[in-house]
Amino acid sequence: MHRWSSLFVPTLREVPSDAEVASHKFLLRAGYVRQMGAGLYSFLLLGQRSLNKITAIVRDEMDRIGQEFLLPALLPAELWQQSGRWTTMGENMFRLKDRKGADLCLGMTHEEVMTDIARRELRSYKQLPQIWYQIQTKFRDEPRPKSGLLRVRQFLMKDSYSFDMDEDGLDRSYALHDAAYRAIFTRCGLEFVAVEADSGAMGGSQSQEFMVYTEAGEDLIASSAVTGYAANLEKATSRLAPVEDLAPTGDGLPELVHTPGKAAIADVAAFFAISPAQDIKCVAYIAHTEGASGTAGAQPVAAFLRGDHMVNETKLLGVLGAGELRTMNGDELEQWLGGPAGYLGPLGLERAQALGGPGLTVVVDRALEGRRNLVCGANRLDYHYRNVTPGRDFRWTVLADIRNAREGEDAPDAPPGTAAPLRIGKAVEIGHIFKLGYRYAEALGARVLDANGREVTPIMGSYGIGIERILTAAIEQAAAGAPDGNGLALPRAIAPFEVVITVTNVRDAELLATGEQLARELEAAGIDVLLDDRDERAGVKFKDADLVGIPLRVNVGKKVAEGQVEVVDRRAGKSVDVALGELVTHLQKH
């Protein structure tokens, strides 16, 4: 039986000044964790119990689709050199040398190691598919650990890897993970959305992130409750409301207009008495292509969008196949566009004929496609054009979606004529599933024989869950829904204890005996119970019970004389009196 009087639960009355986000404050105040350094935390009793609850759920679901391994976290450089990531991981990887001077690193992910096992051991298509997973500590030298447990340098990850014969097989492994992840997060009591994610530099074909909406999050996601659409803002698209084009003026051809001092879009729109949606804006960049050898090529890029839209640099990078963007400085604007910021436009530019070709790459956002009689800069100080029609008056290197979707725009999959406004909000990523393809299997030379006796490369997927992030996301979610001041309660499945029995006065032998008896009964019924038998005033124990996040509290006090105890459901904010003999059944069906 767990007796609070003999446990180490160092609750704090005041929040350490370093903590800002709700989950960090909670974890410190409730005595779940203590900080060692930036992004390094020790888990104490309550924190570790919660993590154990979470990993038990993860194991339970993962064991249905895969097999648990445990790989080393200390890894030789050689594998990473073979995959090429010894260099591309850069400073995010913790590196060290052993006594012989050999290079080692601390694992930040385990594609290489799992693939190494696969290439040594898998020989035949008869052995596939395989799904191998582990729950293990990962190390990442983050440039800026922050927000308590949300971004740390050492954390637990459930990572799994699938090996299949072909894309259909990969689709099945991916779907199995999708279903398992949904089951895991649901059992952990989280409200989450699965979003389309940017596949990024990994080059995979499909990728999905599992996100929990919270103000403490670092990602922005767009979702529609109507259609179920959900995507990371890096990838989200939207259906735009139609815009009425302006009527042409004069002969309908581009007309140069003197616009002194009208550089900002709002000023230009006011000057012409138009909406920013009738304007073309330009953002000019120098893109750097990621050269693995370090020989990065600089490429000038002019991006044109509707005046009221924002460039999505992740999308733009994807279109360009580049690794890095920075905006042009004044000299570069003069060199490539011939005009100053605020007066840039697409007319008369000498553009690259193809992506990667020499000259200025002109990227036009799809929202400008089919538009007519727009206003844009003239690449000349204090001048704009009107009557500008894309396609007729200027051309481009590439037409692509490079803008950010905005809150309130309709989801892209909304049927025509129906409303499906997007909600855009901050979110924290708790899981990620990813179709890797052949990259690692090829780089490391994993091959199996197919039914025809030919060597083929297995296709891989990789899938991750941040264990601590399940806890922090659940806390953030509970904090968002909790009335302030009274503490918060965790979902029963991941709370360190399901029930706390608060004996209001342990010097009353009858109350203490009743509390102990009830705790024994609950324990026998398989309920995870904590008996608060401390010799403290009732108020102190109530406050502590509220603070540590246990969702159900049983008050053993005055009403025992009438054969009753008070059961407080902290998540529901309700309390009821229950007869002593019915407590177990009451809490079981709760």
Residue numbers at the binding site for RNA (CB under 7 A): 11-18, 20-21, 29, 35, 37-39, 89, 92, 108-109, 140, 142-148, 151, 157, 159, 200-202, 218, 324, 432, 434, 464, 486-487, 504-505, 507, 537-540, 542-544, 546-547, 555-559, 566, 568
Of 280 and 433, the one with the shorter C-beta distance to RNA is 433
CA distances from 142 to 138, 216, 223 (A): 12, 18, 29
Of 153 and 306, the one with the shorter C-beta distance to RNA is 153
CA 528 to chain centroid: 31
Of 412 and 461, the one with the shorter C-beta distance to RNA is 461
What's the min distance (Å) between Cβ of 555 and RNA? 4
Backbone angles phi and psi of 440, in degrees to 5: -75, -40
Is residue 524 classed as helix, strand or coil in its secondary structure? helix
CA 296 to chain centroid: 29
Of 520 and 558, the one with the shorter C-beta distance to RNA is 558
Of 171 and 569, the one with the shorter C-beta distance to RNA is 569
What's the min distance (Å) between Cβ of 45 and RNA? 16
Is residue 481 classed as helix, strand or coil in its secondary structure? helix
- The CA distance from 540 to 547, in Å, is 10
Q: Is 48 exposed, middle or buried (0-12, 13-18, 19+ CB in 10 A)?
A: middle
Residue 7 is encoded by which pair of tokens? 């446990």
Contact 499, 578 (CB under 8 A): no
What's the min distance (Å) between Cβ of 574 and RNA? 12
What's the min distance (Å) between Cβ of 545 and RNA? 7
- The CA distance from 123 to 118, in Å, is 9
Which residue, among 204, 428, 460, 475, has the nearest Cα to 318 in the 3D structure? 204
* Geometric angle at alpha carbon 433, from 431 and 437, rounded to 5°: 155
What's the min distance (Å) between Cβ of 129 and RNA? 21
The terminus-to-terminus CA distance of the chain in angstroms comes to 22
What's the min distance (Å) between Cβ of 516 and RNA? 16
Of 378 and 459, the one with the shorter C-beta distance to RNA is 459
Amino acid at 580: L
Rg (CA), the chain: 30
What's the min distance (Å) between Cβ of 289 and RNA? 14
Torsion angle in degrees (nearest 10) through CA of 59, 60, 65, 71: 10
Of 14 and 251, the one with the shorter C-beta distance to RNA is 14
Of 151 and 384, the one with the shorter C-beta distance to RNA is 151
What's the min distance (Å) between Cβ of 499 and RNA? 15
Is residue 59 classed as helix, strand or coil in its secondary structure? helix
- The CA distance from 370 to 309, in Å, is 16
Amino acid at 250: G
- The CA distance from 165 to 129, in Å, is 7
What's the min distance (Å) between Cβ of 90 and RNA? 8
What's the min distance (Å) between Cβ of 17 and RNA? 3
What's the min distance (Å) between Cβ of 321 and RNA? 15
What's the min distance (Å) between Cβ of 316 and RNA? 12
| Strand pairing report for 324-327 and 280-288 | antiparallel
Of 29 and 281, the one with the shorter C-beta distance to RNA is 29
Of 96 and 256, the one with the shorter C-beta distance to RNA is 96
CA distances from 432 to 166, 178, 211, 214, 428 (A): 21, 9, 9, 17, 11
Of 196 and 544, the one with the shorter C-beta distance to RNA is 544
Of 41 and 163, the one with the shorter C-beta distance to RNA is 41
Which residue, among 240, 307, 241, has the nearest Cα to 274 in the 3D structure? 307
- The CA distance from 424 to 310, in Å, is 14
Of 343 and 542, the one with the shorter C-beta distance to RNA is 542
Q: Is 183 exposed, middle or buried (0-12, 13-18, 19+ CB in 10 A)?
A: middle
- The CA distance from 590 to 586, in Å, is 6
Amino acid at 507: R
| Strand pairing report for 383-388 and 95-97 | unpaired
Contact 368, 306 (CB under 8 A): yes
Q: What is the per-residue DSSP string for 287-348?
A: EE---TTS-PPEEEEEEEEETT--B-HHHHHHHHT-SEEEE--HHHHHHHTSS-TTS--STT
What's the min distance (Å) between Cβ of 568 and RNA? 6
What's the min distance (Å) between Cβ of 481 and RNA? 17
What's the min distance (Å) between Cβ of 126 and RNA? 30
Cross-strand bridge partners of residue 455 = 449
CA 79 to chain centroid: 28
| Strand pairing report for 361-365 and 398-400 | parallel
Question: Which stretches does DSSP call E strand in 381-508?
Answer: 383-388, 398-400, 423-437, 448-449, 455-456, 459-466, 499-503
Of 39 and 342, the one with the shorter C-beta distance to RNA is 39
